[in-house]
Amino acid sequence: MQVRRFSRPLLSAGLLLIISSPAGLPMGEASTWRWTLPAGVSAPPVPADNPMTAAKVELGRRLFYDADLSVDGTMSCATCHVQKHAFADSTRTRPGVTDEPGRRNVPGLANVAWFTPLNFADPAATTLEMQAATPVFGTHPVEMGMAGREAEIGRRFGRDSCYQTMFARAFPEDGGRIDFSNVARALASFERTLISHGSAWDRQRLGPEAQAGSALFARDCASCHSGSNFTDLTMHRLGPADPALADQGLFEKTGIDADRGKFRTPSLRNIALTGPWWHDGSAWTLDEAIARHGLTHGAADVAQLIAFLGALSDTEFTQRKSLAMPEDACGKRL
């Protein structure tokens, strides 16, 4: 595995700054985290039992890129959540370590700190700490393949002297315990820094076609794709329910017939970078994804909508060094 240093993000007009104390804090020294966000954007909610610290973010960043979280050491969080794709994937669905086909498309993680629920069709996944168990231990389908091997996670990372130091800095209250609970807390802390507010839309720099598309979007799309993250975080079904489909969405969790085919509204931030689209990745173009909503748009309208969606891309976010694979840890190159 290669890893990169925890560093400050690049700065650009209209973009939030994330400022922390420096990495490599002396053992036992408290690390701090301070959010600096655009006007009108509040800091994301953080669980009381997992306050943000720079040491946790630094550890979570290294863990996010570490394939030792998978049973055979071939898959990390970043295998599916790729920075250049706004922490989404470029495939329809991503197979897990056993090559079992994935069921659902990999969502982007921009601004995921504000999302709940976090999965496409599981209302119980309400925090990033809880959600971490789904890819690591899930069996429907198998992703990272660690079901029944939770203790192995502590053993693996506990053999690394640098991880011992990083866990001690991140979790001094429990002696730097190395187990999945603290792995999940560190991953969640890093994921809360995956913040994107530097698109042309954020900076109010829409071209004429995107501006026209913005008006169409407000009229036809914003009832579900609402708010600054363009999602109402509610589960909907487009079109009639089909009990014959392999993926029944929310129904699989609730057993309520009216929930068949319901999936959470996806965020549209960086949407042009996160294709293919739809909960199963079956829409290969934005034109197709728009058409599936059942609205009547001419070619000119669709072009304007796509121009607007393109203006939601934040290329600084996809290149921010503080979110990339670290190059070193504990003063040594990885």
pLDDT of 29 above 80: no
Average pLDDT rounded to a whole number, residues 196-218 = 98
Mean of all residue pLDDT scores within the chain: 91
Q: What pLDDT, on a 0 to 100 scale, did the predictor assign at position 39?
A: 87
Q: What pLDDT, on a 0 to 100 scale, did the predictor assign at position 31?
A: 67
pLDDT in tens, 60-83: 999 999 999 999 999 999 999 999
Q: What pLDDT, on a 0 to 100 scale, did the predictor assign at position 38?
A: 86
Q: What pLDDT, on a 0 to 100 scale, did the predictor assign at position 13?
A: 36
Residue 37 CB partners (closer than 8 Å, separation 6+) = 16, 43, 195, 197
Q: Is the four-CA dihedral 122, 123, 124, 126 of positive or negative sign?
A: positive
Q: Name the pTM for this structure.
A: 0.91
